[in-house]
Structure 1
Amino acid sequence: MKYATLAIHGGVRAQQDVKGVNVPIELSTTFAQPSLSQPQKFEYARGNNPTRAYVESLMAELEHAKYGVAVSSGMAATTLAFGILEQGDTVLLNSNVYGGTYRYVSNLFKRHGIAYHMVRDFNSLRKEDLKDVRALFIETPSNPLLEVYDIAHLAELAHQTDTLLIVDNTFMTSYFQRPLELGADVVVYSATKYYGGHSDVIAGFVLTNNDALNEQFRFLQNTYGGILSPFDSYLIARGIKTMPLRLEASQNNALALAKMLEKSDAVDAIHYPGLASHPQHELQTKQASGYGAVFSILLSEKYDLDSFLDHLQIFDLAVSLGGVESLVCRPATMTHESYDPALQKEIGIDQRLIRFAVGVEDIEDLKADITQALEESRK
């Protein structure tokens, strides 16, 4: 089946007498067993639950993965992936990684004797740079500078040195990009974003084709206990049904706005891989089927940033992304505040950098909203 059809009809359902068009929400915390000699797949809901098992299988099908593990948030997914690391391991991360991920590695890795290094340009890595490195962790496109990294190239390098490649694919989803098919070992998601799609559920997923890794993830999921609840599993499954439609609409809007702003004197720089001017536009076109619906701009000093944000009427000032509504935020103080100011400056997370997460509203209304806010904020 094609993606849009699989999003509605995919997944493995638990056996039931009545088959509704929607998967039922199973709220039981424990399940009766026929006898001691007949253990069942579902015993205790922390270990397994029919609704969660369904959405895990659906996510895996969409990703072309063997295994999917559902947890309570995107950070829980990242934590689960990092849970396989051991004392003495070293991890390389792209420099402008999500602030929550940076907060985790910069504060908690040292407690477990794990080292990390932020890499400014992953695409220039060589085999010798991966000596004694246990894992590479990348977001591509990255958050918030929308840098694109060559997944296939990095996978080839990593596998020459027994290094794991972990990809946070939140911005793209499996609809636009499937890192496992490009050689990645693990994919993580904040499914809060596009998979949920309505800003009403927090969820995360870890996906892999590796049997041994999956066993470790399952053990950690059950041991940590940060599972996705039955109701939240249902909400993710429901959101997936319309995700292809929402992603196409959001991406079309984002591209139109990015092209408009690229020509504006209000913008000193714009970061969106859908633009031909983006330095990795060709790479993004090669390894993905789309560009996503997030972009960021560096607002010109000719405009008052606070006034611009205050005058936006449709774009809500809020963190997160991937919902049907359009949002705007300042990464330096809202999503990447865990970065030291000096590190922000070094990386390029400027105080005047604004990130747009574009929704599915009418494009003419979105254009008009940004235009009037710029007019009101011109110094």
Structure 2
Amino acid sequence: MTDNRHAGRTGGGNPSGPDGQGKRVPRLAIVGCGAIAEQYYLPALTRRPDVLSNLILVDRDAARAEHLATTFGVAQTATDYREVISQVDGAILAVPTHLHHPIAMEFLAEGVHVFCEKPLAENADKAREMVELAEERGLVLAGNYQRRLFPPLVKVKELLDSGVLGELRSIRYLVGELFDWEAVTGFRFNVGTASGGVLRDRGAHVMYVLCWWLGGKPALISSQNDSSGGPEAVADVHFQHEGCRGEVKLSWLSKFTPRFEVIGEKARVEGGIYDTDSVLLTTTAGRRGQKRLKLPRSPRSYLDIAYGMIGNFLEAMEGSARPLVSGRDALPSIELIDECYRTATRF
């Protein structure tokens, strides 16, 4: 998948979704002007210039907010999110994980829709409070679980739902990526602000995908990590769901191709998580039964994925679409991660 996180800074381009013509354009605030805002949300919104021009950027660091406003052509900034609650229809929360719950609860309480960076909250109890308040108020609460749009992972879900694989036997999901995110703050590695390590970060995506594929939360068999009191950099999780056993391996210290293998009684599908060309389907006929399944031509880049998630949030706010990943959709994965931490043993 093409990594064009720095693309789109000059704006322009035709939006691939609704362009706001003929109807009121929703007003958004992005709360938090760190790396994810600069490299993901703002480039995505260049495809919706009508929304971008009406946006409010919020960050305690006024200079940082002004810098991004100048870069992306945003007219208004603020240093306190409370100042803008009454001015917006929706908020994108791009702040450290431990701030998701308190800020989201304030926006939701005032009738503002929320799109929250993953993980939805630092634990399931807080996530559940957010979900319940959003549902009570009839508001959209969505999460940036962007793997929901990754073509190879979507193809696996299609194969599972269609019965091509048959009854599931095993799942293996591997992610080994050195941490190279150009973070503005170091909250992930601060014991006082981190809610976990690689499992809470990369694992938020992985555990969501597993719950999505399986249609529910699997039973945890074992959880191990390398933590000596701080955020873990390596984690290994084993689980079971009905007749399927699975393993997840996560690492910030080793670099290996992020891959998956899903085996059913009729066939096996495997591929790279970032592949955009095809996945390999193998039937019980062995190599003679191997077939490359082509993936859709779009999305092909992080910018495509980002716009897909944000565009969906805008449509959900208008009532014309269901959130790709609602807060309630994300809950089982957060519960699973909490259980992994509670029962973890050290390698």
Taking structure 2 as the reference length, the TM-score comes to: 0.31
Larger Rg: 1
